[in-house]
Amino acid sequence: MENYLDWIYMGVMSVFVGGAVRKFLASHISAAPTVVAWLGVTLVVEKLWSHSVPAVLALGAICVACCLYSAKTAPAPVLPVEGKAVLITGCDTGFGRAAAQRLDAQGFEVFATVLDLSGEGARDLRRACSSRLTLLQVDITQPMQVQQALLDTKAKLGLRGLWGLVNNAGVCVNFGDAELSLMSNYRGCMEVNFFGTLNVTKTFLPLVRQSKGRIVTISSPAGEQPFPCLAAYGASKAALNLFMSTLRHELDPWGVKVSTILPSSYKTGQSSNQEYWECQYKNMIHNLSPSLLEEYGEEYTKETQELFQRYAQTANEDLSPVINTISEALLSPHPLVRYYAGPGVGLMYFIYSYLPLSVSDKFLQRIFVQKKVIPRALRKENGLNSSFLHNNNNNNNNNNVDTTEKK
Ligand SMILES: *[C@@H]1O[C@H](CO)[C@@H](O)[C@H](O)[C@H]1NC(C)=O
């Protein structure tokens, strides 16, 4: 009898703990408190069990926990959409376009900025959205255009404020080892992802403060964790994250809530545009110093390029997890500070935050670009004996390698 109950107990426990883990892996980090609660109950039940409490009681405790859990996950209350205006940047493609369409359908008055008013994205939005939609041409790196967008928005809003600013516009100029990435790549990412977003935020903030509204920024887990080959993009997003966190503190007294969304990898913008990456790659090779190219070897850079493109092909196509969080961040009475949106991104966060660096380093390298080719100079070195290797490392500082870029 005892034995039989043990099995039931084991079964229920595995379902229970498995469910918690699955929940955690599948969704964003807001699941963490729930998971802790689940595991806490598990421990309590375990304790009761060891004190020979009847199995029925232990199972009862689990049922109560499950009921509480499902009650907690009932749809959260949302604020009314009525009369709320939001401005979204970067609506030509990807998250921006999808968000503009969704928020318009929800009843928001949407101001969508696009790079190209006569482009496909703008055309799609015009067709799919209500007459409340306003399209504005803005390149966020052009302060004059940002300023013009403010004037146009104010003209439509009259005395009303702006409920939400959704900072979506962003770029990844190129990818590759940090040493091989061009200065123009670093600057390009900073210019759009950081300075562009900064200028837009500062420009529209008075309107958002007026309505005690929301600032929602699409960032990237690459701004928190050292993804291989994404130093330039990651650094710009890291700057953005820190800026938004600071803003969050400072705007708290104003009643403005600031949320950052960190999506997993999605097919958006240029991410699956082979031609674009080929072109960026050629540009990099062309501008790299010959000595650097010689040390790394073209077979090395080529492999990185191919691995990355292959990775981009496996990116998610269903944007809805991210669009849902944008909507939640705008409409929840208590939006989260950070939303990890999309499959796998919660797991990445967990591994990076809670496991030793050696584990998370391996993990990042394994899921991302698994390079097989090592740089040419290292290959040659490995062919020689280790004492040479040692000496060579010591001499690194004296190496007279010209690493300056040609413009
Ligand atoms: C945006 O940037 C431009 C150029 O740097 C600057 O003149 C303008 O004041 C900025 N906008 C805000 C609101 O700070």
Looking at the structure of the chain, the number of domains it has is 2
Kindly give the distance from the C-alpha atom of residue 200 to the centroid of ligand 1, in angstroms, as a whole number. 9
Same domain? For 52 and 117 the reply is no
Q: How far apart are CA 112 and CA 97, in angstroms?
A: 8
**Is residue 396 in a domain?**
no
The response to whether residue 93 sits with its C-beta less than 6 Å from ligand 1 reads no
What residues contact 318, with CB distance under 8 A and at least 6 apart? none
The response to whether residue 226 sits with its C-beta less than 6 Å from ligand 1 reads no
Rounded alpha-carbon distances, angstroms, from residue 300 to 203, 240, 379: 44, 31, 11
Going by C-alpha positions, the residue among 205, 176, 171 that lies closest to residue 273 is: 171
Kindly give the distance from the C-alpha atom of residue 93 to the centroid of ligand 1, in angstroms, as a whole number. 26
**Is residue 367 in a domain?**
no
Residue 366 CB-density burial (10 A; 0-12 exposed, 13-18 middle, 19+ buried): exposed
Same domain? For 260 and 150 the reply is yes
Ligand 1 atom closest to residue 205's alpha carbon, by position in its atom list: 13
Same domain? For 130 and 230 the reply is yes
pLDDT at position 23 is 58
What residues contact 278, with CB distance under 8 A and at least 6 apart? none
**Is residue 80 in a domain?**
no
pLDDT at position 104 is 98
Same domain? For 107 and 244 the reply is yes
Kindly give the distance from the C-alpha atom of residue 317 to the centroid of ligand 1, in angstroms, as a whole number. 35
DSSP-based three-state secondary structure for 214: strand
Same domain? For 180 and 99 the reply is yes
First to last CA, the chain: 80
Domain containing residue 254: CATH number = 3.40.50.720
The secondary structure of residue 118, as a DSSP letter, is T
Beta bridge partners of 316: 266
Ligand 1 atom closest to residue 202's alpha carbon, by position in its atom list: 13
Same domain? For 51 and 169 the reply is no
Which of the following is catalytic: 4, 186, 233, 296?
A: 233
**Is residue 336 in a domain?**
yes
Kindly give the distance from the C-alpha atom of residue 157 to the centroid of ligand 1, in angstroms, as a whole number. 22
Same domain? For 103 and 206 the reply is yes
Residue type, 105: A
Name the residue range of residue 42's domain.
2-73
What residues contact 11, with CB distance under 8 A and at least 6 apart? none
**Is residue 110 in a domain?**
yes
Q: How far apart are CA 49 and CA 283, in angstroms?
A: 66
The response to whether residue 219 sits with its C-beta less than 6 Å from ligand 1 reads no
Strand stretches in 210-315, DSSP E: 214-218, 257-263
Task: Among 73, 100, 119, identify where a domain stops.
Answer: 73
Same domain? For 141 and 232 the reply is yes
Same domain? For 140 and 109 the reply is yes
Task: Among 329, 349, 369, identify where a domain stops.
Answer: 349
Kindly give the distance from the C-alpha atom of residue 143 to the centroid of ligand 1, in angstroms, as a whole number. 6
Residue 137 phi/psi, 5-degree rounding, is: -85, 115
**Is residue 401 in a domain?**
no
Q: How far apart are CA 27 and CA 349, in angstroms?
A: 11
Classify each residue of 189-228 as buried b or exposed e, where b means 16 or more C-beta atoms within 10 Å of its C-beta: bbbbbbbbbbbbbebbbebbebbebbbbbbbbbbbbbbbb
Determine the length of the chain.
Answer: 407
Q: Which two tokens stand for residue 9?
A: 């107990």
Helix count and strand count (H, E) for the chain: 17, 7
**Is residue 299 in a domain?**
no
Q: How far apart are CA 292 and CA 315, in angstroms?
A: 31
Is position 233 annotated as part of the catalytic site?
yes
Q: Which residue has the tokens 């500082």?
A: 397
Same domain? For 235 and 330 the reply is yes
**Is residue 293 in a domain?**
no
Give the residue, by CA position, lying nearest to ligand 1 atom 3: 143
Ligand 1 atom closest to residue 147's alpha carbon, by position in its atom list: 11
Same domain? For 19 and 166 the reply is no
User: Which helix or strand (DSSP H or E) is residue 58 part of?
Assistant: helix 55-72
**Which residue among 202, 204, 205 has the greatest number of ligand 1 atoms within 8 angstroms of its CB, and so is best to mutate?**
202
Same domain? For 175 and 99 the reply is yes
Task: Among 24, 51, 73, identify where a domain stops.
Answer: 73
Which pLDDT tens digits describe the chain residue by residue (407 residues)?
Answer: 557 777 777 777 777 777 666 655 555 455 566 667 767 777 776 777 676 666 666 667 667 766 666 555 556 778 999 999 999 999 999 999 999 999 999 999 999 999 999 999 999 999 999 999 999 999 999 999 999 999 999 999 999 999 999 999 999 888 889 999 999 999 999 999 999 999 999 999 999 999 999 999 999 999 999 998 899 999 999 999 999 999 999 999 999 999 999 998 888 777 777 888 888 888 888 888 999 999 999 999 888 888 888 888 888 889 999 999 999 999 999 999 999 999 888 888 888 888 898 888 888 888 777 788 889 999 888 775 444 444 444 444 444 444 344 33
The response to whether residue 195 sits with its C-beta less than 6 Å from ligand 1 reads no
